[in-house]
Structure 1
């Protein structure tokens, strides 16, 4: 299978997994009346839940069978073919996902995400849900893990835009507060501010100073790309999800928000990782959420895939 089929111009050709565009209603039906991990293609805001509660999946499933069965993507009983079932597997899992854009909730009036990548619990299967004209495409990453970083950049349209850094550097610290502007000052305050930040956090100042000076020399590049990631392995979701994102009811979920600057292989991030002694319902307690926030930045070298980074849910960093 050509892993980059989704970027080719759409042509009039036989319906296959590579060419199929699914509506939210069809994704909901393929998920047996549920939302996929990441809740991007199907969620409570774009599914007619009143119709579903009144009629069930029957009418929608019949329509889906009529469309997919002649192409061999589904049999007459509604069972997906092996290729489609494999693509759906990560979307059914309680694994990890990452999407571009910001966290989406019930107050969001417009979902601007273009893609969400879901990975199963064992990191053996991954599928991207990509926004397309008229719906969404499913892009399975396939079994060859060596392709995954390349496909990841493709589905987020970063091919040719993302360039690795000449450095490999990683800085992370706990005790992060949402209103903390220390790092913002380091980026905007010039070389002296960048050096002071690195000295305070015990890292080599050369990469950050180079970034700051490049901005002074006129480099702007594309604006940062926001990516919000969640890991819900071993978690329990509420039966009636109150929002578009699968926020767990209990379990040791982890979250990470990243801003990627593609032309520099540079990532700013912050996240939450519960401590081992936290209760399973820790996320319901604001004081516990505040106690496990961390922040940092990474310069990613050529052998450090962006996919691994933005889906890297680290432990809470213990202070020396």
Structure 2
């Protein structure tokens, strides 16, 4: 994927997304010993960066494909992103969700006009239902993170950040399915000035960390983390980009994630989900090496159940 594709993608999706604000905190800077610039994708439409990739992926379809609709399987933010993007573009969206997904997320999908199909909470069941919809309705399957158009879309958040602060030394993102960090790494490579990308990942789901060590895509046997958006694994489209352009992946504990999340709520006065706090937790973990650096932080989303906060 080259620079012009990222530029074209950004121009294409601009009418359908927000150019989200960047916040700073002198207190957090003092604690981190560095200068942090928080790109607030919790203020994005539907509350997360995933709106960017979803919009781009749908806009790249042919008229015939648009007529037959799109389908994805997701228990969270991509389900909402694809529903809202499809609604904005006048396309039908079939959303396969595990029956165990939070009711608030199911309601959000319906509220954005998505056609909800529930299934057993296993990956096999999700894929089976998605395949059925592809076969029955001719819908196009769009993967939440392992899709070139989605990856490019997610990279536009970092592109916007670098347009404001072109001299960042690092950009840090959380790592789940790998779409955000892959897109961010491409944007940093093409638009940064020797800007390095670091990923944050919970110890409880450290498949990306292990994948970079082993050179092949690893899986998780357990997903016991508060960072519910990061339970998915890398794919064959984003993993090579991560191998080539990501400096390292830093693992953090559940306690560190919660402490970072609380700090963001208290000091930046914004609602962020646990997955977003993983990036800040990773910066604190690398404090000595990042001392005095200018660091962009992608706050990936703010879709959190406020009746079940960890603090």
Taking structure 2 as the reference length, the TM-score comes to: 0.24
The structure showing larger relative contact order (alpha-carbon pairs under 8 Å, at least 6 residues apart) is 2
Taking structure 1 as the reference length, the TM-score comes to: 0.24
